Chain A
């Protein structure tokens, strides 16, 4: 048994711990991180519809942000609502899973908002909640993850996962036209999600238009670390690659890191979603990333605008109809060096 005086040791150790804690707390804050510059992600057009109308309350529910894209969804909705003087946004926490969100929506219905914007944890499981709201006379704007029953929403506004894959496949196909047996790799996201399967199906179809097919396919988890991990191994599997499509720009940070660490540059890469970081790489040309196909979180801003029109009984000014349409599917746009400047304001922070 050691015979050192424990109290003195403890005092010394405690002092060191406290000191480092104080130093860390003082100099490792993150204040500058939150000053996001997304002036282009929300928008109010001039025109009759912009003029303040009947004051409305809007309910909003989206899953907690576990990912840059979802975070951008909530941010955009909040900021867009703030642009309208006649809109009061009531956000309800979506909880941890679909049943929790169902309960949250039921509470929201009790508060009788004029309209609800809802990005479900799971489209099928939230369908009954959508129906209940519609039944109570509250129009529901279904954001991105589709209900299993079209009657559960007044408006569906969503991105196009299949179209995203198709656009990436067509872009790669056009660039590789005429090459014999090119090596085309696909880095998917979480493989058991329908959205990943839709993207992969679109990618196959897009390549097929040029008589090409995917030679190597790996699946990551939409996280930076998993992107780095699968790519490091993928690059060993294929010593020479012609093109890579990576489904998601968030995991793309890791994908690009692995490519740099392996010192590879013989191929070009297409991203997915359209994050600010990806656009900056496309603009500067400092990496194999030459294009990205969008799946824009600005759809939340549009959803808030349209929900407002629905609640006020107005239509979209460019359409002849007096009411907002039933369904809007955003097109997936291909961003390259040529048009990146136009899209930069829409890039979200991953």
Chain B
């Protein structure tokens, strides 16, 4: 939790390298998640050595994990911004569905790939703006406002599609999921570029600093001259834009638009952000942590299918990881808050 008014601690001023920190938290706090990922890979190596100890197959498998993580990853990045800013966005899955359906109607498809992508991005962003307006100008609680748009957007998506699966006939859209420049799937590249841009936005711009400030202490941020309403509006629009990007990715992967797309994405994104160290109360969170959080969940999913195990165990494992991650964080936060021992 950052306190805007607090003077910088000696530790913070010492760290002046470019990699000094990520969202005002030490990079090494993410080491725990890296450890979990390594542990999952070791489990894979022990139980399915034919895949995890074979260089070529391991590479292909991990590219699959990254590809399957890409759309929820982009959504989680948007969610991380909203949560650091002290809000929550429950509508992400429904906005994804709405954007995918809107961009794959027969009429939209007739205009070609460019218009389809544009439509998805605009629908996502505008829906995000509606969230933002409801919350910052309508003074609604984020949980309630985005709950409402979640239900409404899913319903609108069902209305537009007539609950049919809208198969994409525009080949260049489907190619997005097939194209692998330099052997790396384009979807993975989109995910990585989004993550890098988000990292810069959060850690190297006033926008990022203000986001942390608003989430940490809105009153102090307001007194410091930050326009709370406009900033909140931008955060939700950003999350909506991420939904639009993810909608294009999912549509390409599924070769269809559907009102069923992005089912339970809101919970997956929140869970990934939380195990990545984002505080539900705002003011704290990192992009690297959220990306790692997504990868942990996707890797578990992959491991269970590769080991031919039933999915219920995987749900149990996910629950345990969420609890473990949050418990560990609380210990760490408690340790950070303890006053330095005399003489240290």
Contacts and interface: CB of A to CB of B under 8 A. Distances in A.
A-B complex is real: yes
Interface of A: 1, 17, 20-21, 24, 27-34, 65-68, 71, 191, 215-219, 221, 223-230, 232-237, 239, 250, 253-254, 256-258, 260-262, 277, 349-350
B311 A32 contact: no
B260 interface: yes
Give chain A's interface secondary structure class: helix
B132 to A, nearest CB: 12
A229 B311 CA distance: 13
Nearest to B50: A239
A114 B167 CA distance: 41
Given A225-B250, A229-B301, 15 more contacts: A20-B122, A29-B105, A31-B106, A67-B163, A191-B312, A218-B305, A219-B310, A221-B263, A233-B306, A236-B57, A237-B305, A253-B165, A254-B256, A260-B255, A277-B167
A24 B260 contact: no
Given A28-B102, A239-B57, A261-B253, A233 B108 contact: no
B106 A30 contact: yes
B232 interface: no
Nearest to B226: A1
A33 B263 contact: no
A187 to B, nearest CB: 11
Contacts of B76: none
B107 A250 contact: no
A253 B253 CA distance: 10
A225 B161 contact: no
Contacts of B105: 28-30, 33
Given A28-B107, A30-B105, A32-B106, A233 B64 contact: yes
B67 interface: yes
A234 B64 CA distance: 10
Nearest to B62: A236
B225 A1 contact: yes
Contacts of B106: 30-33
B62 to A, nearest CB: 9
Given A29-B105, A236-B60, A253 B225 contact: no
Nearest to A217: B308
Contacts of B67: 232
| Most A C-beta atoms less than 10 A away, residue of B129, B302, B307 | B302
Contacts of B122: 20, 24
A221 B260 CA distance: 10
Q: How large, as a class, is the contact surface on chain B? A: 35 or more
Contact of A253 (B64, B163, B255): B255
Interface of B: 48, 51, 57, 60-61, 64, 67-68, 102-103, 105-108, 111, 115, 119, 122-123, 126, 129, 158, 160-167, 174, 177-178, 225, 227, 250, 253-256, 258, 260-263, 301-302, 305-308, 310-312
B310 A233 contact: no
Contacts of A223: 258, 260-261, 263
Nearest to B54: A239
Contacts of B119: 24, 28
Contact of A225 (B51, B164, B167, B254): B254
A201 B256 CA distance: 30
Contacts of A30: 105-107, 160-162
Contact of A34 (B162, B256, B311): B162
A257 B161 contact: no
A18 B253 CA distance: 31
A261 B178 contact: yes
A10 to B, nearest CB: 10
13 contacts: A17-B129, A30-B105, A225-B253, A225-B254, A225-B258, A233-B64, A233-B68, A233-B302, A254-B255, A257-B253, A257-B256, A258-B253, A260-B174
B164 A33 contact: yes
Contacts of A68: 163-165
A211 B310 CA distance: 24
Contacts of B225: 1
Contacts of B107: 27-32
A24 B123 contact: yes
B165 A250 contact: yes
A34 B161 CA distance: 9
A253 B51 contact: no
Contacts of B262: 225
Contacts of A65: 163
A37 B160 CA distance: 19
Contacts of A21: 126
Contacts of B310: 191, 219
B60 A350 contact: no
Nearest to A230: B305
Nearest to A31: B107
Contact of B305 (A71, A233, A239, A253): A233
B120 to A, nearest CB: 10
B10 to A, nearest CB: 31
A253 B164 contact: no
Contacts of B227: 1
B253 A228 contact: yes
A215 to B, nearest CB: 8
A344 B126 CA distance: 41
Contacts of B302: 233, 236
B68 A27 contact: no
A327 B64 CA distance: 47
B311 A225 contact: no
B343 to A, nearest CB: 43
B257 to A, nearest CB: 9
B260 to A, nearest CB: 4
Nearest to A192: B312
A285 B155 CA distance: 36
A100 to B, nearest CB: 17
Contacts of B311: 191, 218-219
Contacts of A27: 107-108, 111, 115
